[in-house]
Amino acid sequence: MWNHKELRSFFLIALIIISGYSFIPETESADLGLNTYKIAGNAQGTTYHITYYAENEIFNKFQADSIFNSLDSSLSIYKPYSLISKFNNEKRGGITDFHLKNVVKKALQVSEDSKGIFDITVMPLVNIWGFGPDGNISVQPTQRAIDSILGFVGYKKLILTGDSLIKLHPKTTIDVNGIAQGYSVDVIADCFDGLGIANYLVEVGGEIRVKGRKQPGNEVMKIGIEAPSENKFSDAIILKAIGLKEGAVTTSGKYRKFYESGNIKRSHLIDPRTGFPLQNEMVSVTVYAQDAITADAYDNVLMGMSVKQALCFLKRHKNLEAYFIYTRSDGAIADTASKGFVSMFIE
C-alpha cells in the first residue's frame, strides 16, 4: 500500500498544529534545569518539527538536515541519483545500503503479515493512477492496463538476501513512501537515544515519536488527533487528544489526496491486490506502536480493511493500538478505537 501523506503545518499561540496531530504545551511548573531546543524545516516533500530538552544544545538543524539528505539519497523516488531510483532502473536488482535494507526488510515482513495489503511493489499502479512522480492523469486506466501491470506487482517478486535486493521480474519497481517517513522519525529518535536525550518529540510529515515528558514541568506530552478535512488549508479541528510517555503515532487517510472522475472520488491509496484505489468505509486510521516505522506501515494495512476486520487484526497484534474514523452504511461519519487506544485518551 502506497501512502504519500500530503501535509501542512502552521503556528498558533502556544499550540503547534501538525497535520493529523498537535503537540499541546501544558502549564509549566518546576524547572528541572533543562533547556528547550526546537528545530523545524522542510524535508521529504513536507515539513519536520523536532523538540528536545537538554542542558546544552547537542543536536542542531545542520545535523537534522544531514540525516534527511542521507535518507533522500537512499529512499527518495523523486531523486534520480538515489539508491532506490537506481534499483528501479535495474532489471535484476542491486546492493542495498543501511537505510534501504532496513526499510525493505520491514516492508516485506508487514507484507507477509498483512497478506499483501501493504506492498512496496505497488509503484507502477500508483503511477498509472496519477499519484506518482509523473503527476495527475486525464483518463482513468483501463482494466486491461491494470491487469498488465499486476503481472509484475507483488512483494514475493522481491528477495532480500544479505545486502542484495533481487527482482524476480525485470519490470518490478518499489516505492517506500508509505513507510519512509516513519523510518525517518525513528532514525532521528534513535540518534537522540544514542546522545542520551531522554525527553523529545520528533515529527516528520505528521508522523510522531515521543519519549519522556515536556519540560519544564515534567508533564506528559499530548498529541491531538485532527478531524479529517478535504480542505488542505482549513483550520485544524482536534477531535481527540492522547497522552504518551513513549512511542509513535501515525495516521493514514484518504480524505486529502484524491482526484475526481465524474461523481467518484479516487483515493491515492491503491490496493496492490486489485490495482484499484481503495473503496471501503475507512476515512482515516491512527496507529500507536513503539516505533514509527511500525505504526506507519500498519496504518496503511488497517486502511485496507473493514472496521470489523481491522479490530480483529488488532486483537492478534498486541503491539498495536488504533483509532478509526469511518463512514457508516447510512453515510454518517463515526469513530471507534481499540481498547488500548481508548486508555490513552485524555480530556
69-177 to CATH, choices 3.30.360.10, 3.40.50.970, 1.10.3980.10, 3.10.129.10: 1.10.3980.10
pLDDT at 127: 87
Q: Report helix, strand or coil for 173.
A: coil
pLDDT digit string (tens) for 78-128?
A: 999 999 999 999 999 999 999 999 999 999 999 999 999 999 999 999 888
Residues 6+ apart with CB under 8 A from 251: 5, 20, 21, 206, 225, 284, 285, 286, 287, 299
Angle between helices 177-195 and 61-75 (to 10 degrees): 140
pLDDT at 139: 78
Intra-chain end-to-end CA distance of the chain, in Å: 34
Whether the per-residue pLDDT at 244 is higher than 60: the answer is: yes
Least confident of 176-190, 191-205, 218-232, 281-295: 218-232
Long-range contacts of 338-342, Cβ-Cβ distance < 8 Å, separation of 24 or more: 338/311, 338/314, 340/288, 341/242, 341/286, 341/288
**Domain segments of the chain as ranges:** 69-177
Cell of 347: 480530556
Q: Report helix, strand or coil for 270.
A: strand
Whether the per-residue pLDDT at 65 is higher than 50: the answer is: yes
Decide which of 52 and 238 is more confident. Answer: 52
Grid cell 516485506 in the structure block, residue: 108
Percent of the chain with pLDDT over 70: 83
Grid cell 465524474 in the structure block, residue: 262
SS (H, E, C) 221-236: EEEEEECCCCCCCCCC
| pTM for the whole structure | 0.88
pLDDT at 234: 54
Q: For residue 291, give the amino acid letter.
A: D
pLDDT at 122: 94
